[in-house]
Amino acid sequence: MMIEIRNLHKSFGALEVLKGIDVSLDKGKVLVIIGPSGSGKTTLLRCMNLLETPDQGTIKLSDRSLDFQKGRKVSSKEVTELRKRTGMVFQSYNLFPHKTVIENVMEAQITVQKKSKEDARKSSQELLAKVGLGDRGNSYPHQLSGGQQQRVGIARAMAVEPDVLLFDEPTSALDPELVSEVLKVIKQLAIEGRTMVIVTHEMKFAADVADHVLLMDGGYIIEQGHPKDVLNNPQSDRAKQFLNRLTGEDI
Segment 169-179 mean pLDDT = 90
Q: Is residue 216 part of a domain?
A: no
pLDDT in the model for residue 1: 73
Q: Is residue 114 part of a domain?
A: yes
Check pLDDT > 90 for residue 245: no
Sequence-distant (≥ 6) Cβ neighbours of residue 166 within 8 angstroms: 45, 48, 49, 86, 87, 88, 89, 157, 196, 197, 198
Q: Is residue 202 part of a domain?
A: no
For the chain, the domain total comes to 1
CB 147 within 8 A of CB 89: no
pLDDT in the model for residue 248: 57
**Which residues form the domain of 114?**
95-160
Q: pLDDT band at 247, cuts 50/70/90?
A: low
Sequence-distant (≥ 6) Cβ neighbours of residue 167 within 8 angstroms: 89, 186, 196, 197, 198, 199, 200
pLDDT in the model for residue 26: 96
pTM of the model: 0.93
Q: pLDDT band at 81, cuts 50/70/90?
A: confident
Sequence-distant (≥ 6) Cβ neighbours of residue 23 within 8 angstroms: 3, 4, 5, 8, 31, 44, 214, 221
Q: Dump pLDDT digits (tens) for 62-76.
A: 888 999 998 788 898
Check pLDDT > 50 for residue 172: yes
Q: Is residue 148 part of a domain?
A: yes
Q: Is residue 132 part of a domain?
A: yes
- Round the average pLDDT of the chain to a whole number and report it: 92
Check pLDDT > 90 for residue 112: no
Q: Is residue 99 part of a domain?
A: yes
Q: Is residue 221 part of a domain?
A: no
Segment 151-160 mean pLDDT = 95
Q: Is residue 120 part of a domain?
A: yes
